Amino acid sequence: MKYADLIQEFHSQLSKEWSSKNVELLIKSIWKLCKNTEVDKHTQVDETLKLINQILNGYGIESVRGKLWISYVYQDINLLYVNMGDTYAITILFDTFTMKFIFSSVGDYIETHSKRFEI
């Protein structure tokens, strides 16, 4: 399956029901596609988020800096996410500390992990 096919398939799925099950399937499918390419894990994360942004008609990929130094690649960027136009809108996040994708709002996630984000 190619990116264009994924976009079309998940547009129809997500327009019916914006649920964690659909999102989990979306991320797994995209991640599998990205893994099949000759790129490093950080590039896989970037490409996955870019495609999710396209599918969800988001406003781009944003980052949140925190107290923790993550790595030489991410430096102090603790969170990457698809901007949906509202801090408390449900979106897809990537926590660079845990190296996991999360289905949540940016505001809720930061409040839950307030020590890392200096609030």
Mean confidence (pLDDT) of the chain: 76
Residue 48 lies in a domain: yes
SS (H, E, C) 86-119: CCCCEEEEEECCCCEEEEEEHHHHHHHCCCCCCC
Residue 117 lies in a domain: no
Predicted local confidence at residue 1, as pLDDT: 46
Distances from the Cα of 115 to the Cα of 22, 66, 112, 118, angstroms:
31, 9, 9, 5
Predicted local confidence at residue 113, as pLDDT: 86
Q: First-to-last CA distance in the chain?
A: 42
Residue 118 lies in a domain: no
Span 27-53, pLDDT tens digits: 776 666 655 555 567 777 888 888 888
Rounded Cα–Cα distance for residues 58 and 83 (Å): 6
Distances from the Cα of 73 to the Cα of 76, 86, 94, 102, 115, angstroms:
9, 27, 14, 20, 22
Residue 35 or residue 54, greater confidence: 54
Number of structural domains (the chain) is: 1
pTM confidence score: 0.71
Residue 56 lies in a domain: yes
Could you list the residue range(s) of the whole structural domain that residue 59 is in? 3-112
Distances from the Cα of 109 to the Cα of 17, 73, 98, 106, angstroms:
22, 22, 13, 5
Residue 60 lies in a domain: yes
Residue 44 lies in a domain: yes
Rounded Cα–Cα distance for residues 31 and 41 (Å): 10
Residue 34 lies in a domain: yes
Contact 79, 106 (CB under 8 A): yes
pLDDT band at 85 (very low <50, low <70, confident <90, very high): very high
